[in-house]
């Protein structure tokens, strides 16, 4: 049993904020930061036990308040309640529970990996792999336990979302591309669903980046952070470039040689995930140079511009990340400065 003596005032406050964030949907992305804080204050084992208590509370909340039908939703607020339109009540319950466990576990995984790793790259990449494995476990459990067909229900839900967007856009003149999209809602939904694994991987990546940066900033007093360099030092292993090369070759073979759609989909998911990771490495290189700007105003302006136009410059960041594999830009810059 968990020792209630470890539940200090700040632990109780963070626990309440964590649950409020989950049920309200505000700042959900910061739930891992809260669970990381709990693990650092009361220990990983006690934080895990507290997470079980939260899960039991969530199960009770869903059992008591989740409506039976989508028509009964009204102004109801719980994660995933809009899915009642195409998923059963039990499926929505599972999704809502997994949703919480994912975010809460992300913080615990970050804390555990921090204790075991000795550098930034090992800490981040090991956390990323563990979080992907957790998502894979959730997928297997959902498919095993849910009475719904995950594929068919997801396609129906995506078609419904597109229909609502089409209805909202009907008042204004939509372009040819949007008209074509609305005219092929089923085909687009099926294609979009094929790339969900890569989208989930990118979501895991984004969640970890945000909480890695914030945890290092807010808990830098932890002894484990003494050997963790700033995020601008992040670098993928050089061998990782082979994932991008092999996925590209597999896509070419699946599409033009073998004619295997499954191989094509798997290859594209791997390629998109690798693309996101090299964008992250390019971002680290960009931050390396931005943080070395002497002017606080210019440094802040560059950071803001990078955030605002991140999507537009993502391809450029990807190319920087690829070039960094062979050029090792940051090490060259440091060595050049030392030799001057």
Residue pLDDT, tens place only, 33-67: 999 999 999 889 999 999 999 999 988 888 877 66
pLDDT of residue 79: 55
Closest by CA position to 202, among listed 152, 273, 147: 273
3-state secondary structure of 6: helix
Query: Does some domain include residue 188?
Result: no
- What is the full DSSP assignment across 277-293? HHHHHHHHHHHHHHTT-
pLDDT of residue 319: 93
Count of structural domains, the chain: 1
pLDDT-based confidence at 208, cuts 50/70/90?
A: very high
3-state secondary structure of 335: helix
pTM value? 0.84
pLDDT at 339 over 80: no
Query: Does some domain include residue 19?
Result: yes
Please tell me the total number of residues recorded for the chain in this structure.
Answer: 340
Query: Does some domain include residue 42?
Result: yes
Contact status, residue 114 vs residue 103, Cβ threshold 8 Å: no
pLDDT-based confidence at 189, cuts 50/70/90?
A: confident
pLDDT of residue 129: 94
Query: Does some domain include residue 212?
Result: yes
Contact status, residue 43 vs residue 61, Cβ threshold 8 Å: no
User: CA 262 to CA 292: how far, in whole Å?
Assistant: 46
Query: Does some domain include residue 18?
Result: yes
Closest by CA position to 269, among listed 193, 188, 185: 193
Closest by CA position to 232, among listed 273, 293, 180: 293
Q: Which residue has the higher pLDDT, 28 or 32?
A: 32
Query: Does some domain include residue 69?
Result: yes
Query: Does some domain include residue 122?
Result: yes
pLDDT at 1 over 50: no
**Residue numbers of the domain that contains 210:** 1-148+203-220
Instruction: Provide φ and ψ at 339, rounded to 5°.
Output: -80, -15
User: CA 255 to CA 267: how far, in whole Å?
Assistant: 10
Please, which residues have CB within 8 angstroms of residue 116's CB and are 6 or more apart in sequence?
A: 126
3-state secondary structure of 44: helix
- Secondary structure E strands in 189-284: none
The mean predicted confidence, pLDDT, of the chain is 82
User: CA 122 to CA 132: how far, in whole Å?
Assistant: 15
Query: Does some domain include residue 59?
Result: yes
pLDDT of residue 64: 79
Tokens of 315: 């391809």
Answer left, alpha or beta for residue 229, where phi above 0 means left and psi between -120 and 50 means alpha. Answer: beta
Contact status, residue 82 vs residue 141, Cβ threshold 8 Å: no
Residue indicated by tokens 């609502």: 164
């Amino acid at each position: 049993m968990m020792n209630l003596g470890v539940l200090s005032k700040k632990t109780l406050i963070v626990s309440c904020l964590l649950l409020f964030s989950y049920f309200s949907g505000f700042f959900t992305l910061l739930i891992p930061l809260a669970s990381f804080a709990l693990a650092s204050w009361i220990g990983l084992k006690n934080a895990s036990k507290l997470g079980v208590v939260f899960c039991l509370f969530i199960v009770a909340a869903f059992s008591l308040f989740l409506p039976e039908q989508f028509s009964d939703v009204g102004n109801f607020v719980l994660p995933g309640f809009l899915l009642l339109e195409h998923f059963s009540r039990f499926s929505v319950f599972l999704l809502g529970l997994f949703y919480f466990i994912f975010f809460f576990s992300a913080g615990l995984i970050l804390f555990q990996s921090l204790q075991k790793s000795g550098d930034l790259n090992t800490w981040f990449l090991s956390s990323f792999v563990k979080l992907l494995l957790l998502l894979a476990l959730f997928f297997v459990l959902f498919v095993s336990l849910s009475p719904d067909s995950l594929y068919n229900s997801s396609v129906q839900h995506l078609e419904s979302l597109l229909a609502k967007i089409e209805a909202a856009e009907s008042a204004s003149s939509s372009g040819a591309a949007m008209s074509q999209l609305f005219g092929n809602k089923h085909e687009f939904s099926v294609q979009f669903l094929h790339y969900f694994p890569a989208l989930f991987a990118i979501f895991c990546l984004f969640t970890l980046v945000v909480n890695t940066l914030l945890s290092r900033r807010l808990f830098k007093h932890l002894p484990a952070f003494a050997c963790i360099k700033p995020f601008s030092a992040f670098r993928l292993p050089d061998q990782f470039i082979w994932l991008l090369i092999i996925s590209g070759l597999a896509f070419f073979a699946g599409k033009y040689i073998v004619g295997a759609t499954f191989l094509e989909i798997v290859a594209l998911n791997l390629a998109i995930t690798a693309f996101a990771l090299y964008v992250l490495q390019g971002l680290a290189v960009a931050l390396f140079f931005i943080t070395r700007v002497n002017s606080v105003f210019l440094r802040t302006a560059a950071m803001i511009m990078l955030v605002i136009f991140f999507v537009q410059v993502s391809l450029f960041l990807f190319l920087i990340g690829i070039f960094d594999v062979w050029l090792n830009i940051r090490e060259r810059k440091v060595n050049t400065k030392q030799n001057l």
